[in-house]
């Protein structure tokens, strides 16, 4: 289906002159990453010769529309994933929406099958990281009631972010499995997360020093150490 939505004057390459044109809109299909998507494309049509062409800006706009159509179909979080994300922070739809910057009805719509736009998809993706969510919460917590604030601050997601306070940059370099491993090791050892990370760094430095003495290259970082079986360096024995 095609329809004219407005008129304009633009250079027509076939006529070789500036002509009256109409901007037309029609649904087109395109294949992206092996999947076919439909989107609304815009073209210009010369009213003198009938030639259709993409005016400056229309090509980029059509490409953006195709990418957005693909993202809405295949990259948007599912309703189940959104419910699970919100539950991680013990937040109601109203509170979660306020923290991320959109309303209760918007969140309800997404959890009922609606598709977030590109901006809200990004906000939801960022909220999946506990440290980023905590930063959002710190900014917008005044928009929600005391009961909701208490529930959120007692949630597993918020506590995970709080335990990494001061180590946010490091936490983003680790996988979720690695972060969980650090937290579990810290809990078992009765340490805070920073203390546990310091232990890893200390153990890594000791091993790297030993490896250096043996002519072996240094380890690549804390993430590698976390994936290894971490053992404290054995104390040196001194002959009596």
User: 95: closest CA among 164, 44, 145?
Assistant: 145
CB atoms within 10 A of CB 136: 17
Distance CA 114, CA 102 (A): 14
Tokens standing for residue 23: 């901007």
| pLDDT (average), residues 68-94 | 91
Q: What is the pLDDT of residues 165-219, one digit of tens each?
A: 666 667 766 777 887 888 888 888 888 777 777 777 666 655 655 555 555 444 4
| pLDDT (average), residues 115-143 | 89
| pLDDT (average), residues 130-135 | 87
Is the model's pLDDT at 237 over the cut of 80?
no
pLDDT of res. 207: 60
Angle at 42 (CA atoms; ends 37, 45), nearest 5 degrees: 135
Distance CA 222, CA 232 (A): 15
Distance CA 116, CA 99 (A): 16
Top-confidence residue, 196 or 126: 126
Is the model's pLDDT at 144 over the cut of 80?
yes
What per-residue string of b and e applies to 85-116 under the rule 16 or more CB within 10 Å gives b?
A: bbebbbbbbbbbbbbbebeeebbebbbeebeb
Q: Which domains can be identified in the chain, with CATH numbers?
A: 9-75 (3.10.20), 79-164 (no CATH)
Is the model's pLDDT at 102 over the cut of 80?
yes
Q: What is the pLDDT of residues 11-54, one digit of tens each?
A: 998 999 999 999 999 999 999 989 999 999 999 999 999 999 99
Cβ 178 vs Cβ 227: under 8 Å: yes
Q: What is the pLDDT of residues 109-121, one digit of tens each?
A: 999 998 898 889 9
Q: Write the DSSP string, the chain.
A: -EEEEEEEEEEETTTTEEEEEEEEEEEEEEEETTEEEEEEEEEEEETTT--EE--TTHHHHHHHHHHHHHHHHHTSPPHHHHHHHHHHTT--HHHHHHHHTS-HHHHHHHHTT----HHHHHHHHHHTSHHHHHHHHHHHGGGS-HHHHHHHHTSHHHHHHHHTTT-HHHHHHS-HHHHHHHHHHHHHHT--HHHHHHHHHHHHHHHHHHHHHTTPPPP--HHHHHHS---PPPPPP---
* pTM of the predicted model as reported, rounded to 2 decimal places: 0.56
pLDDT of res. 162: 77
Cβ 26 vs Cβ 1: under 8 Å: yes
């Amino acid at each position: 289906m095609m329809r004219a939505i407005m008129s304009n004057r633009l250079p027509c390459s076939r006529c070789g002159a500036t002509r009256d044109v109409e901007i037309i809109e029609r649904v087109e299909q395109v294949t992206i990453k092996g999947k076919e998507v439909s989107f609304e494309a815009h073209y210009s049509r010369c009213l003198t010769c009938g030639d259709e062409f993409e005016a400056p800006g229309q090509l980029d706009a059509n490409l953006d529309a195709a990418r957005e159509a693909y993202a809405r179909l295949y990259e948007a979080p599912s309703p189940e994933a959104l419910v699970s994300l919100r539950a991680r922070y013990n937040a109601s739809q109203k509170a979660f929406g306020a923290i991320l910057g959109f309303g209760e009805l918007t969140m309800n719509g997404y959890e009922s099958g609606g598709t977030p736009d590109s901006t809200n998809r990004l906000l939801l993706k960022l909220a999946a990281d506990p440290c980023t969510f905590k930063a959002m919460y710190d900014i917008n917590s005044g928009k929600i009631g005391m009961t909701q604030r208490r529930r959120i601050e007692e949630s597993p997601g918020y506590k995970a972010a709080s335990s990494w306070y001061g180590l946010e940059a490091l936490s983003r370099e680790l996988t979720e499995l690695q972060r969980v491993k650090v937290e579990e090791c810290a809990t078992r050892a009765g340490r805070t997360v920073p203390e546990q990370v310091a232990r890893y760094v200390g153990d890594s430095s000791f091993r790297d020093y030993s490896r250096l003495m043996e002519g072996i290259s240094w380890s690549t970082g804390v993430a590698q150490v976390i994936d290894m079986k971490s053992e404290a360096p054995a104390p040196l024995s001194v002959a009596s």
